[in-house]
Structure 1
Amino acid sequence: MSAQQLRDALGDRIILPGDTEYSTARLPWNLAIDQRPFAVAQPESAEDVVDVVRAAAASGLRVAPQSTGHGAAALADTDLSDVVLVSLSKLRGVTVHPEAQHATVLGGSVWNDVVEAAAPYGMTALHGSAGDVGVVGYALSGGLSFYARARGLAVNSVRAAQIVTADGRIVRATPHDEPDLFWAVRGGSGAFGIVVSLELDLLAIADVFAGMLLWDASRASEVAHAWAAWTTDAPESASTSLRVMHFPPMPELPPFLSGRSVVVIDGAILETDAAASALLAPLRALEPELDTFARMPASALVQVHMDPPEPAPAFSAGAMLASFPPEAVDAWVVAATSTPVLFIAEVRHAGGAAARRPEGAGAIGSVDGEYLLAGIAMVPAPELAEPALAAAHAAVAAMAPWHAPALALTFIDGGVDRALGFGASRERLQQLKGQWDPADVFAAGQPVG
C-alpha cells in the first residue's frame, strides 16, 4: 500500500511527511529524539485505533503506540521508516468508580488526568513523579511512585486492559479473560498491542505528608551520607529520593534554583504529621535552606519532584543498586557534582513492597534492588547531545560495583540490554509475543525480543 493508499483508507486520521502537521505531530515530549516515522496517526477512539492497525498491517507497515513521548529515547533504537506512529494524545479521559475504588483510563491519558478526577472522591493513584507522563506506558512498564515502598509498583494496580491486537481486534484482558495476554501486557506493554484503556485500582488517600528539603550542592556529600544512613532504617511508609540538580541561569526558574547547583531530598511519608516529622528530624537537623514537607492534598504530590512542566530535550540512563554504602555514596557524589552539562543525578529509595512480587502479578510485578539510580542530562542545544548522553551513562557506570541485576524499565532509554528489566519473564514474553503478534506488527519502546 502506498502512502496515498494509506491516506485513502484513513483520511485525515493519518498524517504523512508531506503534510503541514507532520513536523509537529511527529514530535515526542522528549525533544532530543528526532523521530521520523512513515506516518503519524492521531486516533480519537478505540475504533479509530482498529482502523489504523488494520490499514498499517495490510500494507506491511509496523505500528508504534505513543502516549506522550516521555520515553521516546527507548524507541530511538527502532527504525521508524516503515512504522506508523500512533499518537494517543487525543484519546484521553478518566471515569472514576468511587464505590469500587478504581478508574477507567483512556489510553492517551496522563497522570494529571487521573489524580484530578480521583481527588474529589478522596482518592489518588500510584502515579509517577511527573503529572504529564502517560498512564499506560508508565503503569504497564512497572511504575515506581512515591507510594511504592508501601504499596508496590503501579503495574500491580492494573485490573483490566482493553487492547487492539495485531489482527485488528479489540480484546479485553483480565485475570479471567485472556489471562495470558493480561499477564504479558503487564510488563510487555506496547509489544502486544495498543492499549486503548486501562482499569486501575485507586488509593483511598486524600492527603499526604510530602515535600522536599533543599541545600546548596556544596553540602552534597554531607546530605547524601545522612540520607543513605537514614534510609537503612526508614519504614516502608517513606518513599524518598536524593538528587543533585544543576540549573542554568534562567529567568523562568525561581531564584532558589536559577543558576545554582543544589542537593534535594523529596518524597512522601504515609504517616501522621507527628510521626512523619519525627522520622524527618535527622534530616531536618542538617538545616536545609528550604523545607516544604507538610500535609498536602494527594493531588499536589505530582508537583513535589519539580519535573519540567513542558516538553524538553534530555537523555537519561538508569540502574538498580543492591545497596548504597558509604563508599558508593562517595562515588555518587563525585559523579553527581563533576558533570560539565546540565544534569540531574538521582538515587531513589526502592525496596519494601516494590521489591515484593504479589500473587497474580504480570510479567513485571516487582523490581529487585534497594535503590534506583538515574542520570538525566538536559540537551539545550543539538551540539550538546553527545556530551549529555555520555554524562548520563558515565554517572550510572560510576556506580557499577553496586549495581543489582535488575532494571526499572521506566528509567532507561535505548542502547541497553533490557533483559535485566524483564528478568525471568523474558522467555515467556517472547513466546506470547509470537502468539499474539507473529508478524511483529508492534514496535515497542521496550521490545521483549
Structure 2
Amino acid sequence: MPLRTRGSQYQPGEPGYDAERRGFQTGFVHRPALLVRAADAEDVRAAVDYAARHGSGVAVQATGHGVGVPADGDVLVSTKDLDAVHVDPVTRTARIGAGARWATVLQQAAAHGLAPLSGSFPGVGAVGYTLGGGLGPLGRRYGYAADHVKELRLVTPDARLLRVTPDTEPDLFWALRGAGANFGVVTSLEIGLVPQTRLYGGALTFDSALAADVLNAFRDSTALAPEELTTSVAMIPMPDLPSLPPPLRGRHITQLRVAYLGDRAEGERLVAPFRELGQPIADTLRELPFAESGSVYGEPDRPHAYFGDNVLLRELGPAAIGSLLEHAGPGSDCVVDVRHLGGALARPARPSAVSHRGAAYQVLVLSGVDISGESPDSRAVQDKVFAALAAATLGRSVNFAYGPVACARERFDAVTYQRLRKLKALHDPSNLFRFHSNIEPG
C-alpha cells in the first residue's frame, strides 16, 4: 500500500474497490487512483499529504449524494466511518463526524427534545450538507444549518489538523460555512440545536391537471406566510411500478409539501386554500415528531442516477410559473421542486460564505441518467427552464448541484466570490480540492 493508515485502502482492480467508490449517486461515480477509507482524522491527514506530494487532487465522499466532477485518477477520501455523533443537551449542541447522516443526529437530538437544522432527506451526510449552507424545513424560522456551526475540525491542503472557530481562524470559519469542500476535509463539526419536537406536516398530492392552480396558490400563500411555515411544490413524473400506490402509478403529479411548527388547527387553516382547489389524490398532512420530518418530502431512499441544478429567484411571477409549466410541467420527465425561502434565511447572525440570501424561492430541476450518461433531451429541458427564469435569478446554491454543473461563480455574490478566491490562493494554491463547485485560486 502507498501509505500507512488504520483504515482500508483500495486501488483499481483490487477486491472491494468498486463497492467502496460507489455512493448514493450512481450516475456519476469516482474512479480514483487511490481510495482511502479513513478510520480517523489522522488517516485523512495522511491521504491529503500523499495527494499533495504526488500532485493529485483530493475528493471527499461520505454518502455520495452530491458527486460533482468525478475524481478520476486522483485520491478519494471516504469519511463514512467517521460517523460519531454526540449531543450535549446542556449546551444544545451536537458534535457530528464527517460520515454521520442526519437520521442519526435527528434521533439522538429528539431524545433531549431538540432538533438539528437537517434537510429534506435524513439519509444525507450532515457535514457535507452543512458546508454547502444547509436548507431544510426549519430554515425560515432558524436560518441555514451553516449559521449554527460553532466549530470545525479541518485537515488543510498542506495536511495540518486545524481547529477552526471564529476566534482561532476567522477567515476559514467564514469560508467553510457555505463554500463546500474547497478548503480541505472537515472531519467533524459542532453545531447548535433548537428546541423543536413536533411539526404539522406532510403533503397534498394532486393530479397535474391542477399544476397551474397549485403553483399560483403557492405563490399567493407565501406572500403572507409566517416564518414557522415552510412550503414547497414539486412536479413529479411517477414511474409505473407495482411498488407504488395505484392512485400514483404512472401519473404526473403536483405535490404541496408542508412543514409548520405550530399546532394542527392553525396548520389546517394555512393549507385550506389548497384543499379548495380540488380533491387530492393523496393527503398525508398530520402532526408528527420532528425526527420523522423527512417523511414530509418522501424522497427516494435507494441509490439511483440523477443530474440537475438549481436557481435562486427573487420572485415567482406569472412568467416564471408559465415557464415551469411549459418546459417542465405535465409530460416532462424532469422533477421540479420549488421551495419558499426568506425569513431567517435572509438574516444571518454571523457573516458566512452563504450567498444570495435575498432570494425568495429556490427552483431545483432533476432528471434521471441512463446507462449512456445524462440524456441530451433532459439537459436541454433543464437549460430551457433556467434560461426562462434568468430574469428573476439571483444565483445558485452550492447544495442541490448534482453532476458536472456550472462553475462556482454563480453560487456566490461577487464580493464573496472574490474573497473566497483570495483565501483559496492562500490556503490551497495548487487547487487540490477541486471536484465540486470549485473555487479556483485567485
Question: How does the TM-score come out when normalised to structure 2?
Answer: 0.94
Q: How far 1:336 sits from its partner (Å)?
A: 2.4
Deviation at 1:406?
Answer: 2.1
In 2, distance between residues paired with 1:29 and 1:388?
A: 21
Is 1:289 the counterpart of 2:281? The answer is yes
User: Structure 1: where are the runs of 5+ without partners?
Assistant: none
State the secondary structure of the residue aligned to 2:13.
coil
Alignment of 1:232-381 (within 5 A): 232-286=223-277, 287-341=279-333, 343-356=334-347, 358-364=348-354, 367-381=357-371
CA–CA distance in 2 between the matches of 1:12 and 1:134? 20
Check the 8 A contact 2:7/2:39 in 1, yes or no: no
- The DSSP-based 3-state class of the residue aligned with 1:189 is coil
Tell me whether 1:194 sits opposite 2:219 in the alignment. no
CA distance in 2, matches of 1:242, 1:156: 25
Matched with 2:62 is 67
Q: 2 CA distance for matches of 1:61 and 1:419?
A: 24
Say if 2:308 and 2:366, in contact at 8 Å, map to a contact too: yes
TM-score, with normalisation over the residues of structure 1? 0.92
1:96 is displaced (CA, Å) by 0.3
CA contact (8 A) 2:312 2:356 kept: no
C-alpha contact 1:323 1:369 (8 A) present in aligned 2: yes
**CA 1:30–1:393: 2 relative to 1, 3 Å:** farther
Task: For 2:149 and 2:355, locate their aligned partners in 1 and report how far apart those are by CA, in whole Å.
Answer: 11
Structure 1 residues 292, 175: closer, same or farther in 2, change over 3 A? same
How big is the shift at 1:67? 1.5
Look up the match of 1:100: 91
Report the alpha carbon displacement of residue 12 of structure 1 after superposing the two structures with TM: 6.3
Structure 1 distance, partners of 2:115, 2:380, is 37
Cα distance in 2 for residues equivalent to 1:161 and 1:253: 42
CA RMSD of aligned residues (A): 1.9
Cα separation, partners in 2 of 1:28 and 1:397, compared to 1, 3 Å = farther
SS of corresponding position for 1:65: strand
Aligned to 2:29: 34
2-structure distance, mates of 1:420, 1:247: 31
Contact residue 141 and residue 186 of structure 1 kept, 8 A: yes
Unpaired runs of at least 5, structure 2:
none
CA shift, 1:158, in A, is: 0.9
- CA change 1:268–1:362 in 2 (3 A) is same
* 2:35–2:75 Cα contact (<8 Å) kept: yes
Counterpart amino acid of residue 395 in structure 2: A
Q: Deviations over 1:389-418 (max 9, x none)?
A: 333333322322322x22111122433132
Structure 2 match to 1:429: 420
Residues 404-442 of structure 1: CA distance to partner in whole angstroms, max 9, x if unpaired?
x22111122433132231212111111112222233222
Partner of 2:437: helix, strand, or coil? coil
Residue of structure 1 equivalent to 2:406 = 416
8 A Cα contact 1:347 1:372, kept in partner: yes
1:103 counterpart SS class: strand
Amino acid corresponding to residue 321 of structure 2 in structure 1? V
Given the alignment, which residue of 22, 25, 43 partners 2:17? Answer: 22
Shift of 1:249: 0.7
**Percent of matched pairs sharing the same residue:** 32
Contact 1:187–1:422 under 8 Å retained in 2: no
Q: Following the alignment from structure 2 to structure 1, what is the Cα–Cα distance between the partners of residues 372 and 294?
A: 29
Query: What SS does the aligned partner of 1:75 have?
Result: coil
Aligned CA distance change for structure 1 residues 331 and 438 (closer, same or farther; 3 Å): closer
Superposition deviation, residue 9 in structure 1: 3.8
**Which residue in 2 is equivalent to 1:154?**
145
2:249 and 2:103 map into 1 onto residues whose CA distance is 26
Cα distance in 2, alignment partners of residues 104 and 12 from structure 1: 22
In structure 2, do the counterparts of structure 1 residues 261 and 163 end up closer, same or farther at CA, with 3 Å as the change threshold?
Answer: same
Retained in 2: the 8 A contact 1:224–1:333?
no
What's the CA shift string for 1:284-310, capped at 9, x where partnerless? 222323222221000111121111101
1:180 aligns with 2:210: no
The letter for the 2-side match of 1:418 is A
Cα pair 2:307 2:374 within 8 Å, conserved: no
User: In the superposition, relative to structure 1, how do residues 50 and 143 fare at CA in structure 2: closer, same or farther (>3 Å)?
Assistant: same
Deviation of 1:327 after TM superposition, in Å, equals 2.8
* Cα distance in 2, alignment partners of residues 384 and 434 from structure 1: 33
- Determine which of 425, 432, 442 is the counterpart of 1:441: 432
Separation (CA, whole Å) in 1 of partners of 2:53 and 2:4: 11
Q: Does 1:211 align with 2:202?
A: yes
Distance 1:35 1:164 in 2: 21
